[in-house]
């Protein structure tokens, strides 16, 4: 549980930093108000992707080990999962 909390916090931090950078770039690149809506959508999706992949990537080895599978398969499994 401690590992999951630590990694989830890291995912939230990473997602927040990417969000701030993405919104700043979008805001600086356009004076169109609709660009802010697009920037918010992109920032929200970045936040979700980074947080989800961090938590899933941390949980996957534990889940595989619990089912008797080789935890080393977690890396490729999470890559395919996040690509889909």
Query: pLDDT tens digits, residue range 11-54?
Result: 777 777 777 777 777 777 777 777 778 777 878 887 888 778 88
Token pair of 9, please?
């916090």
pLDDT at 56 over 80: yes
What's the CA gap between 63 and 56, in Å, rounded? Answer: 10
Q: Angle at CA 13, nearest 5°, toward 45 and 42?
A: 20
What's the N-to-C CA distance of the chain in angstroms? 27
Judged by DSSP in three states, 49 sits in helix
What's the CA gap between 47 and 72, in Å, rounded? Answer: 26
Burial class of 32 by CB neighbour count within 10 A (0 to 12, 13 to 18, 19+): exposed
Task: Decide: pTM greater than 0.75.
Answer: no
């Amino acid at each position: 549980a401690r590992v999951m909390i630590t990694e989830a916090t890291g995912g939230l931090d990473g997602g927040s930093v990417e969000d701030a950078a993405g919104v700043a770039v979008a805001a600086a690149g356009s004076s169109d108000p609709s660009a802010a809506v697009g920037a918010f959508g992109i920032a929200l999706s970045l936040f979700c992707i980074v947080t989800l992949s961090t938590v899933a990537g941390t949980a996957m080895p534990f889940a595989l080990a619990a089912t008797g599978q080789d935890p080393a398969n977690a890396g490729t499994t999470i890559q395919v999962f996040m690509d889909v």
